[in-house]
Structure 1
């Protein structure tokens, strides 16, 4: 296939996939099948189609592209997650989120790192990187278990917990990734890095992420809602501003050497707090969701082509299978269940929150980022394990989420148009 025909066929396929991803969410609404599963299946079908050679995207061969594409889709998803949370920030109102972040995530990192060391035979740096990359729940692939658009009332406690957790744990996992990089850089022979890690990677970067995110959110909130005489951004009604908000918050925070993932989510929450009732939040959310879905589609179709091409399978063995089952079936569910002990919610709701910790594109970003900063032992095994776990998570959670969420909604006596009225705080 010559270069021109490859380009034209790629455009044709891209257009068809975009149309499918616009239509499929409606078609799959009542079916135990998720959009990410369909995207991966499309990628596999294309890899096996007679249209080859189409452009392929293997993260192991295109590390920088993998890092930046996944980074961009994550920050867009984080902005969208923050914009659609109606519940005001607060210690008691967000208690389940603090439990998941402060207890479940460190326990999950430790459990997966232990699996990496004991089962996969990884060194300390690589094992910690595996745990840090797989611990966060994914804000991109978790749309089916997240709250609805702003002011729709689709924010029960389960969906709120999973949305708020996904919004914050991507950034909060970063200190552990930086620790893995420091261990790999020192060869695991010294702890000289520990002081600077605590001061800079844990202290400054988290403070800068929260602080810059809040300042940017307040400034953008004023420009969007408070400027008098009709000069506010909200008056334009243009949801494209969401992309600008995202990039400004992320860029300024990274320039300040803070965690941009944390900042973007904090900016979105702060923007909501400036003016909660504006219909412009819905327009910002809708545009961001469209961009996020398109980027997710592109990356998952590429991921599906990698699965079909077979480069993933050659590094998969029984050890990877054990770690996959233990991560999805034991590490996250048990860690989250422990973190929710004493939480005044029904056992069924706590079980759903514990089990539906979807793994996804954030894990690819962390591996690509860390690989560009240090040399890790057994990196091909780490990549194979992460990609298999993502594939298993997308399939298992994607199939289970619709019937499980419909079951819990019926059990609580609510329909698909959920309302926050009469919902108790956690």
Structure 2
């Protein structure tokens, strides 16, 4: 296709998504499902316009997936307003680490016993499929982000955390295949790839996000400096957090997620004898420069501006990557194992891993069932697959992992896209009835 034809096709797609946005909101469909179908139609099996063969193009496709994932992680972190010391973080932490590790172990067991994979390849498959998608999971977070429902918050926070938490297990699988050094007795893996990568990434991102946010708020509210270019602030913080973490052998994904969380938690620095502006909660009635430099509103204005830009980038990244994923399905061999592996992973292994991680959390049956179902696979799994291919994964093992990963992600996008609206609608209706019943029984009601 020529540049003009590409421009026409992409422009028509973007305008169509805008015009059809309201209709999609009324149907049990997600935008990701539409992108996936269009990607397949543009792929080698139909129009033969997109040819994203994952093996020879692993490096380029990996860069695209990594960039999209970084944008998504930062945006998800910015949306989560729960303080880090809040006990509501306990559940997503258990999901992101305990449930994820259980998922890796169970998929690895299936890989060795039923798929005939080497141990390293089986562990690698488990690590690729263990992380949940922060973008698609965040779509379930329909409440106020500062006072979210436990179910929606846990899914979104889990998706933000486990994309970075899965990385050590990807390296473990590659190491067992002889493609990455693990050290004597796994010493390097335990000390650097697991402990330092996880803790160091979180610490670097949190410190950088907090320091940058406070500096910008101080300059704006005290000296009327550093005003504007919030788009650069968001992208710059993503780049610095990821770059510093990677150079320090820490997790860049966790650093970017933590930077978003920390930036959201930057508080206002009111000057003495000043008052908030009226109607500033919804930013109406005051120009941006006034709000950005006012000591009562500088932090919220900074956060909202950065988040608004990042959310637009997030939507574009989702569109591009899911389109590419749809076209990549043409390169996924239709292995017989796909027909039993995908439903087992989605309907059995994910719920089992959630049960193991949520013991003692006091979840209601609907909450546990929904968290068990919405283990949404997406861009994180695609990135780790491409990352493994860049490391030298090849042959029949590579073909098997490509097929199982791509079909699992595609099935997840379709199944969870179809069920997200009806299931979450029923859940929130059930929660409202439960709250009303409690209010009716309370004294003085």
TM-score range, shorter chain: 0.7 to 0.9
Residues 1:253 and 1:26: Cα distance change in structure 2 (over 3 Å): farther
In structure 1, what is the equivalent of residue 278 of structure 2? Answer: none
SS of residue matched to 1:412: helix
- Find out whether 1:32 has 2:14 as its counterpart: no
Helix, strand or coil for the counterpart of 1:140? helix
* Deviation at residue 345 of structure 1 after TM alignment: 2.6
**Alignment partners' CA distance in 2, 1:286 and 1:27:** 23
- Which shifted more, 25-34 or 210-219? 25-34
The 5-angstrom pairing of residues 351-366 of structure 1 reads: 351-366=369-384
Q: Which residue number corresponds to residue 331 of structure 2?
A: 311
Task: Quote the residue 1:289 is aligned against.
Answer: 311
* Structure 2 CA distance for partners of 1:373 and 1:120, relative to 1, 3 Å: same
1:95 to 66, 71, 90: 90
* 1-structure distance, mates of 2:238, 2:339: 37
Shift in Å, 1:101? 2.2
Q: 1:336 aligns with which of 348, 354, 357?
A: 354
2:285 counterpart residue number:
none
Correspondence 1:211-290 to 2 at 5 A: 211-227=203-219, 228-231=221-224, 233=226, 235-236=227-228, 238-275=230-267, 278-290=300-312
Higher relative CO (Cα under 8 Å, sequence separation at least 6) belongs to 1
Aligned with 1:185: secondary structure?
coil
Residue 92 of structure 1 and its aligned partner are, at CA, apart by 1.8
Write the mapping of 1:10-409 to structure 2, written as runs, cut at 5 A: 10-47=6-43, 52=47, 54-90=49-85, 92-146=87-141, 155-185=148-178, 192=184, 194-227=186-219, 228-231=221-224, 233=226, 235-236=227-228, 238-275=230-267, 278-307=300-329, 310-312=330-332, 315-375=333-393, 378-409=397-428
Contact 1:150/1:281 (CA < 8 Å) preserved in 2? no
The C-alpha deviation readout for 1:235-260, integer Å capped at 9, x for no partner, is 42734422222112111211222110
Shift, 1:406, TM fit: 0.5
Query: How many residue pairs get matched?
Result: 401
Structure 1 spans left out of the alignment, 5+ residues: 415-426
Residue 412 of structure 1 is matched in structure 2 by: 431
The 8 Å contact of residues 52 and 324 in structure 2, kept in 1 or not, is answered as yes
Please say which of residues 368-377 and 121-130 is displaced more in the overlay: 368-377
Assess if the C-alpha contact under 8 Å between 1:181 and 1:374 holds in 2: no
Q: Give 1:6 shift.
A: 2.2
Which whole-Å CA distance do the structure 2 matches of 1:149 and 1:410 have between them?
A: 16
User: How far apart in 2 are the matches of 1:203 and 1:147?
Assistant: 33
Q: How far is the alpha carbon of 1:44 from its aligned partner?
A: 2.5
| Secondary structure in 1 matching 2:371 | helix
- Aligned-residue offset at 1:48: 7.7
With the length of structure 2 as denominator, give the TM-score of the two structures: 0.84
Q: Unaligned 5+ residue runs, structure 2?
A: 269-298, 434-445
Q: Secondary structure at the match of 1:384?
A: helix
Distance (whole Å) between structure 1 residues aligned to residue 180 and residue 383 of structure 2? 23
d(CA) in 2 for partners of 1:229 and 1:371?
Answer: 51
Deviations, residues 379-425 of structure 1 (Å, cap 9, x unaligned): 110110000000100000000000001101111118xxxxxxxxxxx
- The one-character-per-residue Cα deviations of 1:308-329 (angstroms, maximum 9, x if unpaired) are xx332xx222212211111111
Contact 1:210-1:266 at 8 Å conserved across structures: yes
Distance 1:365 1:186 in 2: 17
- Report if aligned partners of 1:58, 1:302 keep a CA contact under 8 Å in 2: no
Q: Tell me, in whole angstroms, the C-alpha distance in 1 between the residues paired with 2:40 and 2:59.
A: 23
User: Mean alpha-carbon deviation: is it higher for 190-199 or for 256-265?
Assistant: 190-199
Instruction: Go from structure 1 to structure 2 and tell me whether the alpha carbon gap of 1:231 and 1:369 turns closer, same or farther (over 3 Å shift).
Output: farther
Q: Does the 8 Å contact 1:144/1:402 carry over to 2?
A: no
Q: Is the 8 A contact 2:204 2:255 kept in 1?
A: yes
Pair 1:23–1:128, CA change in 2 (3 A): farther
User: Secondary structure of 2:82's match?
Assistant: coil
- TM-score by length of structure 1 reads 0.88
Alignment of 1:2-17 (within 5 A): 6-17=2-13
Pair 370,317 (structure 1): closer, same or farther in 2 beyond 3 Å: closer
User: Conserved in 1, the CA contact under 8 Å of 2:192 and 2:249?
Assistant: no
**Partner of 1:142: helix, strand, or coil?**
helix
Taking structure 1 as reference, are residues 232 and 392 closer, same or farther at Cα in structure 2, changes over 3 Å only? farther
The separation in 2 between residues aligned to 1:346 and 1:81, in whole angstroms, is: 25
Aligned counterparts of 1:343 and 1:67: Cα–Cα separation in 2: 37
